A and B are shown apart, each in its own frame.
Chain A
Amino acid sequence: MPDLRTEEFVVNMGPHHPSTHGVCRLILTMDGEKVLKIVPVVGYLHRSLEKICENRTYPQCIPILDRFEYVTAMSCNYVFSLAAERLAEIEVPERAEYLRVIMLELNRIASHLIFYGVTAMDIGALTPFLYGLREREMIMDLFEMTCGQRLTFNYIRIGGVAKDIPAEFIPYCRKTVSVIREKLNDYEGLLNENPIWLVRNKNIGVLPPDVGIAYGVSGPSLRASGVDYDLRRDDPYSIYDRFDWKVATRSNGDCYDRYLVRLDEIKQSVRIIEQALDGLPEGPVKAKVSPNFKPPEGETYARVENSRGELGVYIQSDGTKKPYRVKTRGGSFNQLQVLPVIGTGGLIADLVAIFASLDIILPEVDR
């Protein structure tokens, strides 16, 4: 038989492609529908946040880092505050810790709801997106009544939180949580057993645990591969050890498991929030921190479990009121790194599903 050669062609997926969740550009070498090579091109959203932080005082860094990973800006607030508190050894009041946990978990739910909607939309189901955003809207309302902001909060500050919650927060939060718990059944009913959803996601983009660890993947994407690793439990921070919750893991590491793990995490976050609301003590919400906050000379690395994996901030302090160096680490970067490994050889439609299931957002990649 003669050697039939087909032409490969190069397609630019992005930087303004609807399913790259922002401005990611993937240079794809394709053989028909099959993806032979993926080269992610990053940097379209680079804002040099780390450098900007070097010219700001510590409290001023927090609103800058809000933009680092704006889908879960609370975590960015928190991780920087945590690092600064560790440098200066500040004791945070009890009530502030509870509020922080509530906010972090609410924000995690909000982020996973976006994941749910966007992933479904990338696979072609348009309705879940609206469902996901509907419940997220309640969480946004909660944030708005607390700090006046819906996306970039600047709420968690060094030494505590910016201000106490209003009186209507707790009943509305309980309502939100119970609504989400109830609506989760809707979500699962829409997609979990849907045969089309299953064939599009099962055994697609399997991430073996060793590959995941080698590429530094963390968070739900790694837990879907069966690695039972959650910083909230394994490198405890704040007061997570006081609550009764489980680390959600799955074993196959395919797109479907990555999806399920995130739904499971929503359930666990709901549990944490309910316990935190029950145990919320009275008291001050902010330790006394001078606006001229000057940590002693030294360096520290703080990391938290974000909805997209390990979110870390490294601060080097030279004893002045501005950090000498700030380095951030986001989970999305490593997940984008592993995309060529698990996406090559599949079809372009699979690539979209994998991209969605890794839950990459570009501001976190580019900073």
Chain B
Amino acid sequence: MIWPVAFAELRPIFDWLYDMVSSTGLPEPWLSVVIYTGLGAMMFGVLAVLALYLVWWERKISAHIQQRFGPMRHGWHGWYQTIMDAIKLLQKEHVDVATRDKFVFFWAPVMCFVAAFLAYVTIPFGEGLIVADLNIGVLYIMAVTTFTIISLLMAGWGSNNKYALLGGMRSAAQVVSYEVPMVASILVVVVFAGSLSMVDIVRAQDGMFYNWFIFRLPFGPIAFLTYIVAATAEANRTPFDIPEAEQELVAGFNIEYSGMKFAMFFLAEFVNMFTVSAIAVTLFLGGWNGVFLPSWFWFLLKTFAVVLLLMLFRWTYPRLRVDQLMEFAWKFLVPLTFANLILGAWMKYAGWYW
């Protein structure tokens, strides 16, 4: 039984789980399977609750921006409102269109949900709080997020609805386009850290805050801003929420979904938002680095700050048109990020950095 070294702070839980399962006398390969499944379920539970709270948070923030109260009835400032909503959605009837493609229609939300959670394998929540420190960390995240695109395409096609089809195709085109500037701005950081591993990248930013990649002039801030823009598009949020443009496509790819299937798309969106924020923190804002407080606290604090930024975008900006969105990606962001990457690589080569 091999324990991932980096997962140190959860070791007691792991030991407890190991003792409990091994006392049943299970043979070895299945022991690992059970334990890893249990750990996965724990992670899943934590993230699902996190997503629910992000929904609540978004509702409160939007409400306060719009001079409303938002949910107020369930608990202090409605803190368990979204949990009640989730329970309600679980009980709801699944309304399926008769002309849907049964297989694709059913698996699309599952795939979307799973893809959203896959990225958390390599996100360092704190010093030693990482599931697996893959040496391809960043690349891995880029790879698994592509499953989200496929799930959107599946949802769009499986619903057998023109709006859903348009929404799915728009979102695929958008996410594919914005992946290019996103990767290019991430690569600047990778070039400087000299590694794709998330832990190594955070370690490269050790020390005071001026060691963070965002403060490495001049390429750092540019890379951060382009990353945030691309990440907003990647998470399908305003001003880049074309896939679900309510006013043009009614609701986009998820128009025919109801009940828990819809909730899965909805929660996956929030998990994705948290993912892109966590990546931003890891790559640009020093990850878990901070003083006095525990590392996971710093990580969550910074991540929630970036999430707040994304939420402010959403509630203050109008939406771009689909062709303007593409133009912005290909004619502005891509050249800018590549120029920035070349600049960064050259500075690294010349040694003009700290």
A and B touch in the complex (CB under 8 A): yes
Question: Which A residues have a C-beta under 8 Å from some C-beta of B?
Answer: 9, 11, 17-19, 33, 120-127, 130-131, 134, 190-191, 194, 196-197, 199-200, 347-350, 352
Q: Is the CB of A130 within 8 A of B323?
A: no
Q: Is the CB of A122 within 8 A of B247?
A: yes
Chain A CB within 8 A of B320 CB: yes
| Complex contacts, B247 vs chain A, CB 8 Å | 18-19, 121-124, 352
The contact of A127 among B245, B316, B320, B321, by CB within 8 Å, is: B316
Asked if A127 meets B241 with Cβ closer than 8 Å, knowing A18-B246, A19-B247, the reply is no
| Complex contacts, B121 vs chain A, CB 8 Å | none
Q: Which of B315-347 contact A (CB under 8 A)?
A: 315-324
| Complex contacts, B162 vs chain A, CB 8 Å | 9, 11
CB distance from A260 to the nearest CB of B (A): 15
16 pairs of residues in contact across A and B, judged by CB atoms under 8 Å = A11-B162, A18-B250, A33-B323, A121-B247, A122-B247, A124-B238, A126-B62, A126-B66, A127-B62, A127-B65, A196-B318, A199-B324, A200-B321, A200-B324, A347-B323, A349-B322
| Complex contacts, A197 vs chain B, CB 8 Å | 318
Chain A CB within 8 A of B96 CB: no
**6 other A-B residue contacts (CB within 8 Å) besides A11-B162, A19-B246:** A18-B246, A18-B250, A19-B247, A123-B319, A196-B318, A199-B321
* C-alpha gap A9/B239 in the complex (Å): 27
Q: Is the CB of A196 within 8 A of B317?
A: yes
| Complex contacts, B68 vs chain A, CB 8 Å | 130
Chain A CB within 8 A of B67 CB: yes
The contact of B248 among A127, A199, A352, by CB within 8 Å, is: A352
CB distance from B308 to the nearest CB of A (A): 15
* C-alpha gap A19/B316 in the complex (Å): 19
| Interface SS majority for chain A | helix
B231-272: CB near A (< 8 Å → 1, else 0) gives: 000000011010001111010000000000000000000000
Q: Is the CB of A127 within 8 A of B66?
A: yes
| Complex contacts, A348 vs chain B, CB 8 Å | 248
User: Residue on B with the closest CB to A353?
Assistant: B321
CB distance from B257 to the nearest CB of A (A): 17
**Most A Cβ at <10 Å: residue of B162, B238, B319, B323:** B319
Asked if A350 meets B318 with Cβ closer than 8 Å, knowing A18-B247, A124-B238, A131-B66, the reply is no
CB distance from A107 to the nearest CB of B (A): 23
Q: Is the CB of A199 within 8 A of B315?
A: no
| Complex contacts, B238 vs chain A, CB 8 Å | 124-126
Number of A-B contacts (CB under 8 A): 77
Q: Is the CB of A125 within 8 A of B65?
A: no
B154-186: CB near A (< 8 Å → 1, else 0) gives: 000000001100100000000000000000000
The contact of A349 among B62, B239, B245, B317, by CB within 8 Å, is: B245
User: Residue on A with the closest CB to B162?
Assistant: A11
Closest 8 CB pairs of A and B: A124-B319, A130-B66, A19-B247, A125-B318, A123-B318, A349-B321, A122-B247, A124-B318
User: Residue on B with the closest CB to A118?
Assistant: B247
Q: Is the CB of A134 within 8 A of B67?
A: yes
User: Residue on B with the closest CB to A201?
Assistant: B318
CB distance from A235 to the nearest CB of B (A): 36
Q: Is the CB of B319 within 8 A of A130?
A: no
Q: Is the CB of A200 within 8 A of B318?
A: yes
CB distance from B161 to the nearest CB of A (A): 11
**Most B Cβ at <10 Å: residue of A9, A121, A124:** A124
**Most B Cβ at <10 Å: residue of A17, A194, A196, A199:** A196
**Most A Cβ at <10 Å: residue of B65, B248, B314, B316:** B248
B286-322: CB near A (< 8 Å → 1, else 0) gives: 0000000000000000000000000000111111111
User: Residue on A with the closest CB to B314?
Assistant: A126
Q: Is the CB of A124 within 8 A of B241?
A: yes
Asked if A120 meets B321 with Cβ closer than 8 Å, knowing A130-B66, A349-B248, the reply is no
| Complex contacts, B316 vs chain A, CB 8 Å | 125, 127, 190
* C-alpha gap A316/B336 in the complex (Å): 68
User: Residue on B with the closest CB to A10?
Assistant: B162
CB distance from A117 to the nearest CB of B (A): 11
| Complex contacts, A121 vs chain B, CB 8 Å | 247
The contact of B318 among A9, A17, A19, A120, by CB within 8 Å, is: A120
**Most A Cβ at <10 Å: residue of B316, B320, B321:** B321
* C-alpha gap A54/B134 in the complex (Å): 80
Q: Is the CB of A199 within 8 A of B320?
A: yes
CB distance from B206 to the nearest CB of A (A): 38
Q: Is the CB of B248 within 8 A of A19?
A: yes
CB distance from B58 to the nearest CB of A (A): 12
